[in-house]
Each structure stands twice: as structure tokens, then as C-alpha cells.
Amino acid sequence: MRELPSGNVIITCAVTGAIHTPSMSPYLPVTPEEIVDDAIAASEAGAAVIHLHVRDPETGEPVTDLDLYEDVAARIHRETDVIIQPTTGGAPTMAPEERVQVVPRLDPEMCSCNLGSINFGLYPMAENIDDWKYDWEPEYLEGTTTLIFQNTFEDLKVMLGTMEDHNVVPSLECYDVGHLYNLQHCVEQGWIEPPLHLEFVLGINGGIGADPDNLSHLKSIADSLFGDSYSFSTIGAGRSQFELTTQSVSMGGHARVGLEDNLYLRRGELAESNAEQVEKMVDLAWEVSGRKPASPGEVREFLGLKGGEATAFD
């Protein structure tokens, strides 16, 4: 496993995502202004990477509007030195060829790349809500009972080829153990070359469960497949967020927080901003492992990123 020379921890903040819907929390940023403001505050709190989705400003529905992506990315880029990592996952309901368009349009330093198809069952979250702000929300969530989040080997070949063509370093999102073998296949096919930056995603309904033993197992399989040519971050969905990100940091890994993955700061208490979660993660990393947050410059050096000035939103 690769580590930064300083031993510092890469904190990523996923500001809004496409999992939670506006009725679940009044603090979920949905307009371009809210997303930009939260991203800037999260970077000031210690996040070196901002994972970016956009939403319809009127309804909060996840969209792949490339003009919106460019506007939001440009505004964050003007105000911070943070690494902007647009999603190629979009909403699980979107087609891969639509989702990847953000890469040629924005030419970002990083983006996400999802390593395999899974069920993506968001519908249980609808059980706790009676009064919806928007009609699309219950329909969107209920629709995931029959959803397959598609990432076939052909999709992976196209996605990884597009990223390579644009010198974009992917955060390789791994929802289950089999996805590590998918990645090994991609390496064997020459669709991607090490070093690899993985992101273990635990606790999605359809992916590997949010059990600490599973994180340890994912790392041990990654060690056996990729040796010293990989680094990893971790996402814990929902209430597992801080348990698993703290475990990740104690294992030499990195951490992703943000309202895309979890709406709460602690049991029963909604996070009132993304920055609150970043601040908590910075504290936990220091208290548990004596590790400080990595700067965007350190991360660029470590991951071999092309620099903010080489993006299309400069």
C-alpha cells in the first residue's frame, strides 16, 4: 500500500451526491450557490478533494447538466486550491455514456470511476418520510427496487479510456470484493495502469456491508492484488461513516465524508453542513492516529495530478 511521505490523510468531502433527497435534511446543498458555499467551507475545514455532483436548482433532483457542472466547478476553483473530483456515477439511474460526459467537458484532475454493477436500493429511506417537498423524491427512491447501477466491462473500458485520454486520475469506487478482481482485469487488459487510488464503499444497500471485518478484508485482498501500487480511501454509508473512516485512517488509508454519504454528525443529530463532518474527521484522524489532513498540493504530488490550471474550468 502507498502512503504520502508525510503520513498525512487525504480527506475528501462529497458535498451533495445523488443518494439523499431534499426532504431528508434541510442542510443538503442543492442549488449551485449552496453547493459552492459548502465546498469552500469544507476545503477550509481540511478537505483536499471535493467530490462533486449537481442538482436541478429548482427541485434538487440529481442531473448531469454539464453547464451546471462547469459553473459550480469554476466557482469552487476560483475560491480554493482544492482538487475537484466530478462524479461519473451521476445518479444510479443514469446511463454510463451520459455519466462520463463530464470528463471531456471539464477536463478535471480527478473523477470517480465505479468498478462494477450493483443493486442500489435507496428505497428503504422513503419509509421514514411522510411529507415530501417534491413529487420526484418518492418516485426516485421507489424506482431503485428494480435498479441495477450499470458498470459493465465495456463501460469500464470506455470510462477508463476517456479518463486516460484526458489525463484524469480516477478514484476507483469499489462496492464489493469482486470489484477488486474487476480492477485487476482492467489492469491486465491495459485499460488502466498503476498506481491506483481505490475508494472502498461500504454500506450501500446492494454492496458489501458496513462491517469493520469487511474493510479489513477489502484491504487484505487489495494488498494481495496490487501490493505497493495502490492507496485507498474509505466511504461508510450512513451511520457507519465515522466508524469506518476512522478505521481506514488507522490502517494507513484515507477518508471520505460529506452529506452525499451520511446526513448525520452523530446518532440522532443532523449535520448542519459538510464542514461539520470534515472538522470531525480532522479531529478523529488526529486523536486516533496522530495524522493531519493532507494539503491539495501534497495530494497532487502523491497522485500525479495535472494541476488545477490544466482543467477546463480554469
Query: Cβ closer to Zn ion: 3 or 65?
Result: 65
Q: How far is the CB of 38 from ligand KMH (least distance, A)?
A: 16
Closest to 42 (Cα-Cα) out of 19, 16, 68, 69: 16
Q: How far is the CB of 212 from ligand KMH (least distance, A)?
A: 18
Using the rule CB under 5 A, give the single segment among 82-90, 98-106, 121-129, 287-295 that binds Zn ion.
Answer: 82-90
Q: How far is the CB of 112 from ligand KMH (least distance, A)?
A: 3
Place of cell 459493465: 152
The 39-78 site mask, x for binding ligand KMH (CB under 6 A), equals ------------x---------------------------
Within 8 A by CB and 6+ apart from 213, the residues are: none
Binding residues for ligand KMH restricted to 272-291, rule: CB under 6 A: none
Within 8 A by CB and 6+ apart from 287, the residues are: none
Query: Residue 201 interacts with ligand KMH (CB under 6 A)?
Result: yes
Query: Residue 96 interacts with ligand KMH (CB under 6 A)?
Result: no
Query: Residue 258 interacts with ligand KMH (CB under 6 A)?
Result: no
Which of the 8 DSSP states describes residue 169?
Answer: E
Query: Residue 87 interacts with ligand KMH (CB under 6 A)?
Result: yes
Using the rule CB under 6 A, give the single segment among 14-22, 25-33, 75-83, 129-137 that binds ligand KMH.
Answer: 14-22
11: cell is: 480527506
Buried b / exposed e along 129-152 (16+ C-beta atoms within 10 A):
eeeeebebbeebbeebeebebbbe
CA–CA gap between residue 48 and residue 254 (Å, rounded): 11
**Shortest-Cβ-distance residue relative to ligand KMH:** 89
Among 17, 116, 121, 296, binds ligand KMH (CB under 6 A): 17
Binding residues for Zn ion restricted to 227-286, rule: CB under 5 A: none
DSSP track, 33-87: HHHHHHHHHHHHHT-SEEEE-EE-TTT--EE--HHHHHHHHHHHHHH--PEEEE-
Query: Residue 87 interacts with Zn ion (CB under 5 A)?
Result: yes
Query: Residue 88 interacts with Zn ion (CB under 5 A)?
Result: no
Residue 255 host element (H or E): strand 254-257
Query: Cβ closer to ligand KMH: 239 or 292?
Result: 239
Query: Residue 84 interacts with ligand KMH (CB under 6 A)?
Result: no
Among 37, 38, 70, 173, binds ligand KMH (CB under 6 A): 173
CA–CA gap between residue 42 and residue 37 (Å, rounded): 9
CA–CA gap between residue 113 and residue 154 (Å, rounded): 13
Number of residues in the chain: 314
Contact positions toward ligand KMH, by CB under 6 A?
14, 17, 19, 51, 87-89, 112, 114, 173, 201, 204, 235, 260
